[in-house]
Amino acid sequence: MSTVDPPRTRRASRRRSPRRRGISVVGLLGDLLLTAGVVVLLFVGWQLWIGDAIIGAQFKSEAGELTEEWAAAPVTPDTSVAPGPAEPPALAQPGNGEVFGVLRIPRLGPDYQFKLAGGVSTSVTLDPIGIGHYPDTAMPGQEGNFAVAGHRGSHGAPFADLPTLRIGDAVVIETPNGWYTYRFRNLEYVRPDGVQVLLPVPQQPEVQATDKLITMTTCSPRFGSTERAIAYGVFESYTPRADGPPASLSTGVA
């Protein structure tokens, strides 16, 4: 018996080996799929957080370079203007993608600054520049509604923390000629098709504008688009560049 048993055992072992190899292949495939899933999650995390931080830092740097360029330009005080609060100069409507200002919100950090350009196209303005101005809405300092838009969860996410603003926080628009200071008033959430927030008097189609407002729009939740978060502010003052930066930039947090 001992002379024939071992060969039978080896044959049985050989018959079971393909099954073991099959199990090993399935296990290897499972490991590969698990690894691929982890890689995808890491990529999504990069896109949502790390990528936004890098792009946001780049946008802030570009805006800072622009404000430094404006600060270095020669300034001639307008002696024809009577003492007292300066009247905001009228700004022309910008072209699509044309940069005309920098938006600064001290509540969101001393380095918070993003370029403002005409239009709200993702490909021309929001993605490559930062914040866009809704065409044909008021310009800074004008009666009516100065309405702008920005991403909340991609391409630098300039409006990621918009809902954290508090009543009275400064929202400052810097231009080559000076600074327009608004004060945050309130926040509301609307449906994606809630375009009445862009009216001269938001949500009031039959009312004629007499105030100077700012409306900032962004998606909500941060990484979704089922709603829009809308932040409103009221114009406070205009500061000519010859007078130097306004106090609202350094004491703009209510």
Residues noted as catalytic = 151, 219
**How far is 229 from 218, CA to CA, in rounded Å?**
5
**How far is 166 from 187, CA to CA, in rounded Å?**
9
**How far is 246 from 173, CA to CA, in rounded Å?**
11
Q: Would you say 69 and 75 are in contact if contact means Cβ atoms under 8 Å apart?
A: no
Report the DSSP beta bridge partners of residue 228. 190, 219
Residue 211 is classified by DSSP as S
By CB atoms closer than 10 A (0-12, 13-18, 19+), residue 209 is: middle
Q: Which residue has the tokens 């702008």?
A: 148
Token pair for 112? 């918070």
